[in-house]
Amino acid sequence: MDIIVTETLDELGTAAADLVLAQVRAKPSTVLGVATGSSPLPVYEHLARAEADFRGVTCFALDEYVGLPAEHEQSYAHFVRHKISAPLGIRPENTHVPRSEDGYGASACDHYEDLIRRAGGIDLQILGIGRNGHLAFNEPGSRFDSRTRIIQLTQDSRKANARFFPSIEDVPTHAITQGLGTIQEARHLLVVVSGEAKAAAVRRAVDGPVTKDMPASILQRHPNVSMVLDEAAASLLSRSHAL
């Protein structure tokens, strides 16, 4: 696992974006896995300003709330469209987000897995880490071989996302998420984390035992992981990890 610690969020965005740009320039038809949330936003902002051609890139989102239409401002389909695919110039037909409207269920999960397989698998997957150690919406207790599925969100995850909604009662209770087994099949994992609130989870993911109670600990079993952290997120790691 390669760990890069940056002093500022801007430097975090630059360091992570450079890794994405190297991948896309080496392979213009890159299959890119994208994460939503606040941590990767500086990455996408830097990518949007870069002189790079993303027209051949295919992107797959990690997850989506169940029950929110794609037009909803807090849906991840909306985030991906407005923060990633449109600014980077990724073609709409090459942009994929799990379909999570009520009534799709297991068929939507199987369809998403099939779309990833037909695209040739994920070349580079951007990830964040939740305060409870979740990857995508794989909450503590998730099987390491899990595939794309519908999952009930923990109260902690709903509280963490309540700031984006009028109240916690408005936060969806379920999400469709790529599984840990699906994520582990990506050829390169790029983990981007910022903020002191994530420091304990980062420490457990990097230095703790590999356990289902800390889903992000599965990163230790992947052969090609790059982790980009700001100083706050890295504050509980030993000095030997800083590069």
Active site residues: 63, 132, 134, 139
As a whole number of Å, the end-to-end CA separation of the chain is 11
Q: What angle do CA 70, 102, 130 make, to 5 degrees?
A: 65
Q: Which of 205, 28, 230, 80 is nearest to 133 (CA)?
A: 205
How far apart, in whole angstroms, are the C-alpha atoms of residue 115 and residue 61? Answer: 12
Contacts of 93 (CB under 8 A, 6+ apart): none
Helix (H) / strand (E) element for 24: namely: helix 9-26
How far apart, in whole angstroms, are the C-alpha atoms of residue 99 and residue 25? Answer: 30
Contacts of 102 (CB under 8 A, 6+ apart): 66, 67
- State the CB neighbour count (10 A cutoff) for residue 130: 24
